[in-house]
Amino acid sequence: MDTVRTSASDSLIFSLVIQAPEIPTPTLKELARRTGASRIVGVPGGGTQAFRLEGASKWASTAAFCAEEHLDFAFVPTGQRLDRVRLMSMDMDSTLITIECVDEIADMQGIKPEVAAITAAAMRGEIDFGQSLVRRVALLAGLDVSVLEHVYMERLTLSPGAERMLASFRKVGAKILLVSGGFSFFTERLKQRLGLDYTVSNTLEVVAGKLTGRIEGPIVDAKVKADWVRKLRAEYAHGGGLAVAIGDGANDLPMLGEADISIAYRAKPVVRAACTYAIDYCGLDAVVNLFA
């Protein structure tokens, strides 16, 4: 993948940032040779190895080489500083957290394969997200609301590096938006747990302690996600500030398109192709290393 999606002039100076759980020294040196880098600088912190190859100017074979070596890579302009980030927006399912909540809820009904297949098709952009959500939620009708707590406590885990990433953005004063086509039961708990500024998501209708198989109110779909990012970007990321967005599925594409810097996290191919950067092998804290 070409991780540079920018209209910046050729006069900008870039560094090549490479990251992986482990980077062998011979691999690092070979990449520096191929790209013409003048200096290799280690990037401290986080759960991955990261290096900044300064002065890298030969980009042609970088993507293929990094794919062979299972390295995340990004050409980062020198002015892309962390303290310029004023808004960080992210998806929840399979991005901030490792699971798709609707699939795990469906597992309590014994229909996870059926629901997961619909989820996967929607994330690839093969079927409309709103329609797919209505279909999936309808299959949950009759489940006791207590299953939501069970999924949260027993199955929901944060993606690797999530807390370090969030702490880094909070430290520079960035506002954090969690905008999800998933469910408010989970986003509201994560808001309290992680100190998020804004959460937007769907609410499952409950009657007499049971899921009805319906969503309350309008569906939070791709358009709603993009609208929220656009609104908060206008409020916070002006005067040279940056808005960053992270997602993994086709439903995130309009939201990602509203950001100054878009990041595909372990994402579907259609998303990777549209974003500024992709992270395929590292945790979310690798996002921090994309900024000086």
Is position 91 annotated as part of the catalytic site? yes
User: Considering 55, 78, 101, which residue would you say is the last residue of a domain?
Assistant: 78
Q: What is the CATH number of the domain that holds 110?
A: 3.40.50.1000
User: For residue 265, what are the domain limits?
Assistant: 83-292
User: Considering 30, 50, 78, which residue would you say is the last residue of a domain?
Assistant: 78
Q: 23-27, 47-51, 160-164, 211-215 — which is least confidently predicted? A: 47-51
- What was the pLDDT predicted at 130? 92
Contacts of the segment 117-121: beta carbons below 8 A, 24+ positions apart: none
Q: Which of 124, 21, 12, 33 is nearest to 72 (CA)?
A: 21
Q: 3-17, 56-70, 261-275 — which is least confidently predicted? A: 3-17
- What was the pLDDT predicted at 10? 44
CA distance 27 to 6: 27
- What was the pLDDT predicted at 281? 96
150 and 19 in a common domain: no
Q: The whole model's pTM is what?
A: 0.93
End-to-end alpha carbon distance in the chain: 22
CA distance 4 to 10: 12
- What was the pLDDT predicted at 230? 98
138 and 40 in a common domain: no
In the set 72, 91, 221, 285, the catalytic residue is 91
263 and 129 in a common domain: yes
Can you tell me the mean pLDDT for 53-58?
88
43 and 154 in a common domain: no
110 and 245 in a common domain: yes
Domain count, the chain: 2
In the set 10, 72, 93, 248, the catalytic residue is 93
